[in-house]
Structure 1
Amino acid sequence: MTTMTIAPAITGGHDPAYYAGRADAYDDHHAGTDLDTLIVRLGYLIDDHPVVQYAVGYAARVWEIDREQRAVTVAELELAHTLKAGA
């Protein structure tokens, strides 16, 4: 016999608008929008969006994208330095 467990659709205790903001930032980036443009859009959202949690979610994803790109850059630079030193 199984017992049904009811789980909330949203985890982390955030407002649904937070997740909508994160999703929109993800979609914008996935569609090819570069980080600089995302940061400009974030500035407009912070100033003009009526739902603060939406802007917070958008900002969270933009910051993650920034950290991801910085990590890739550091890894590529380290690899290039290692390859050059070994040549």
Structure 2
Amino acid sequence: MSLMTIAPAITDGQDPAFFAGRADAYDEHTDGATIAQLQTRADYITDLHDPQYAAGYTARLHEIRRETAALTAAQTDTAHEQNPERAA
């Protein structure tokens, strides 16, 4: 059994290039690119591509950074709860 993913249609003047940039950043991160590699690519994309594409790529990069930071914080809290003598 699978779940259907609901994706809103691109309407109201939204630029498809923005979402293409987000998708590319997502795909590259999923394929194993590090945040540093994505940042380097974002810098090049900002200079060489459509501004909306670059904005989408960079927006997804910032989301990946926030997700990574939140995951690290959660794992740190879990580690301290499991090892209370090391937390002091």
* Other-structure match for 1:15: 15
What is the TM-score normalised by the length of structure 1? 0.81
Distance 1:32 1:46 in 2: 21
**Deviation at residue 84 of structure 1 after TM alignment:** 1.1
Could you say what the CA RMSD is over the residues aligned between the two structures, in angstroms? 1.9
Distance 2:62 2:12 in 1: 18
- Residue aligned with 1:32, SS: coil
Equivalences, count? 79
Give every structure 1 segment of 4 or more consecutive aligned residues whose post-TM-superposition deviation is greater than 2 Å: 11-14
Alignment CA distance shift 1:12-1:71 (3 Å): farther
* Other-structure match for 1:83: 82
**Deviation at residue 82 of structure 1 after TM alignment:** 1.2
Alignment CA distance shift 1:84-1:23 (3 Å): same
Equivalent residues in 2 for 1:1-87, closer than 5 Å: 9-11=9-11, 13-49=13-49, 51-85=50-84
Amino acid corresponding to residue 33 of structure 1 in structure 2: A
* Structure 1 spans left out of the alignment, 5+ residues: 1-7
Amino acid corresponding to residue 44 of structure 2 in structure 1: Y
Structure number with bigger Rg: 1
